[in-house]
Structure 1
């Protein structure tokens, strides 16, 4: 089953500023893009670079490609049945505006044919909206649906 999922935010920031946010991806205290306060931290076995392995929670991946300040692509290695990638891209619109886009493109097989639509999709969407809120410097979290709150409670 193919999955193509896109989240994007038009930010009133120069591309270089948004690129600086992208370059902090690590899940640590200095990460200004990943919503590590509310979600499992993104962790890698080395600094953000091609070949770095890691993930967040049960989702595992390797950095397939990285262009500092512009683009990073992660190739899935888990959970079982996720075949594809997710990526952040910094897309200049004009001198004062930049689109930050996250794309997930994968094929799911086996148990993931159930786990993606029943759980992962909902959590993924909420996490990505929180990430884009962080990029836009919003101080409040996006409102999670009751189902997302239920899934998060189950995970605890």
Structure 2
């Protein structure tokens, strides 16, 4: 079983955070770090739509605007991963969780390679989210 969590309080409402989060993988994505082609949602952010994440292919799972964005990763990771938004004093607690049973090559690659890369990417997404919120407050 794999469980990985990252969280940060961002000084904005869940609705404002959602506006930015809902662009991830799309043409207007301002959150994904680096090469935008490494995480794409070619059909958009709709339940069941395909996700192209490097060599991995999976689907958009649950979408609850202002609350939750979840990706179903299938056999690579039985549970999936995604973001939840929780209103707290001073803003929104943004949490990213990855959880489930690993399968196939993912079982070997997670502890050796993927976990470290995943951690860096998620922290950069949270950094970018903070930067975008700060930029909006400055305007």
How would you bin the TM-score normalised by the shorter chain? 0.7 to 0.9
Question: For the Cα contact (< 8 Å) 1:27–1:41, is it kept in 2?
Answer: no
Residue in structure 2 matched with residue 15 of structure 1 by the alignment: 14
| Alpha-carbon separation, structure 2, partners of 1:84 and 1:39 | 25
- CA deviation vs aligned residue, 1:65-92 (integer Å, no higher than 9, x gap): 1112321110114xx6432200111111
Residue in structure 1 matched with residue 77 of structure 2 by the alignment: 82
Instruction: Name the SS of the counterpart of 1:83 in structure 2.
Output: coil
Structure 1's unaligned 5+ residue stretches are 139-156
Q: Map 1:63-78 to 2 at 5 A.
A: 63-77=60-74
Query: Structure 1 pair 62/110, CA: closer, same or farther in 2 (3 Å)?
Result: closer
Shift of 1:39: 6.3
Number of aligned residues: 132
Question: Could you tell me the TM-score, scaled by structure 2's length?
Answer: 0.84
Residue in structure 2 matched with residue 152 of structure 1 by the alignment: none
The counterpart of 1:31, out of the listed 23, 29, 32, is 29
Structure 2's unaligned 5+ residue stretches are 133-139
Question: Could you tell me the TM-score, scaled by structure 1's length?
Answer: 0.75
| Alpha-carbon separation, structure 1, partners of 2:26 and 2:43 | 12
| Alpha-carbon separation, structure 2, partners of 1:118 and 1:46 | 32
Residue in structure 1 matched with residue 119 of structure 2 by the alignment: 125
Q: Which has the higher helix share?
A: 2
Query: Structure 1 pair 125/31, CA: closer, same or farther in 2 (3 Å)?
Result: same
Residue in structure 2 matched with residue 154 of structure 1 by the alignment: none
Taking CA–CA contacts closer than 8 Å with sequence separation of 6 or more, which of the two structures ends up with the larger relative contact order?
Answer: 2
Question: For the Cα contact (< 8 Å) 2:14–2:87, is it kept in 1?
Answer: yes
Q: How big is the alpha-carbon RMSD for the aligned residues of Structure 1 and Structure 2?
A: 1.9
